[in-house]
């Protein structure tokens, strides 16, 4: 069962909660498909009036901000032990090479790494714990984290919702166009066949000669 099918079977309120929780847990540092859930929910909202894209964006933003803040606190308390444990459990996401590159980026770019990290899958997971382990000022971290979370969640939701609405209208029009073309082709084929059959029918003189 796909993410779309799962979300389609869940009440709207539960979808808002799921979007916020999945993105929040991902932002803490646990690799979950937060972006896939957000995109699927926004696309679903474009097809069902019962879902509000505004609330999807709000819950996603809240989950991103809260999750990153919790990840920051965890990273500040026990960053090295956390990354050592994560490297053993999730080597594809938290291997020594990944951590070293992300740490160097955060040390060099600071708050900009936190803001733009929200748009990169790996940095989205590592943002909070890395900033905390590097003892970045929480005030600067929170400002960059909140701005990045709102822009990422709100922008993604708005873009997917808008494209989904346009696609649905376009496909609806296309279905009517397709039906019209099919009817027109059917009429033309019918006229051509009748014309050819009429041309092949014997005339009165030919009938009398055959008689």
Q: Which domain holds residue 103?
A: 3-167
Instruction: For residue 85, tell me if it sits in a domain.
Output: yes
**109 domain-assigned:** yes
Asked whether residue 56 is domain-assigned, the answer is: yes
In a domain, 203, yes or no: no
- The predicted model gives 81-88 an average pLDDT of 70
Q: Does the pLDDT value for residue 1 go beyond 70?
A: no
Q: Are 16 and 56 in contact (CB under 8 A)?
A: yes
> Is this prediction's pTM over 0.75?
no
175 inside domain: no
Q: Is 76 helix (H, G, I), strand (E, B) or coil?
A: helix
Cα 70 to Cα 75: distance, rounded to the nearest angstrom: 9
| 122-155 per-position pLDDT tens digit | 778 878 888 888 778 888 899 999 999 999 999 9
Give the residue-averaged pLDDT of 2-12. Answer: 68
Residue 184 lies in a domain: no
- Residue 176 in any domain: the answer is no
Q: Is 24 within the bounds of a domain?
A: yes
**Number of domains composing the chain:** 1
Q: Spell out the residues 6+ positions from residue 111 whose beta carbon is closer than 8 angstroms to its own.
A: 136, 140, 141, 143, 144
For residues 78-88, average pLDDT:
70
């Amino acid at each position: 069962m796909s993410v779309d099918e799962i979300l389609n079977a869940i009440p709207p309120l539960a979808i808002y909660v799921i979007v916020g929780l999945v993105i929040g847990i991902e932002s803490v540092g646990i690799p979950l498909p937060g972006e896939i859930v957000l995109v699927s929910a926004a696309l679903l909202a474009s097809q069902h009036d019962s879902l509000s894209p505004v609330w999807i964006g709000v819950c996603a933003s809240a989950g991103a901000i809260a999750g990153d803040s919790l990840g920051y606190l965890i990273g500040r308390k026990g960053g090295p032990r956390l990354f050592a444990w994560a490297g053993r459990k999730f080597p594809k996401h938290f291997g020594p090479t990944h951590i070293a590159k992300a740490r160097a980026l955060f040390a060099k770019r600071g708050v900009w790494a936190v803001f733009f990290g929200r748009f990169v899958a790996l940095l989205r997971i590592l943002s909070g714990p890395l900033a905390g382990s590097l003892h970045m000022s929480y005030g600067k971290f929170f400002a960059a984290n909140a701005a990045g979370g709102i822009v990422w969640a709100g922008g993604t939701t708005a873009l997917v919702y808008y494209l989904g609405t346009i696609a649905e209208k376009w496909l609806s029009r296309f279905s009517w166009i397709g039906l019209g073309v099919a009817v027109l082709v059917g009429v033309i084929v019918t006229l051509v066949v009748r014309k050819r059959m009429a041309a092949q029918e014997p005339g009165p003189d030919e009938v009398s000669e055959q008689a």
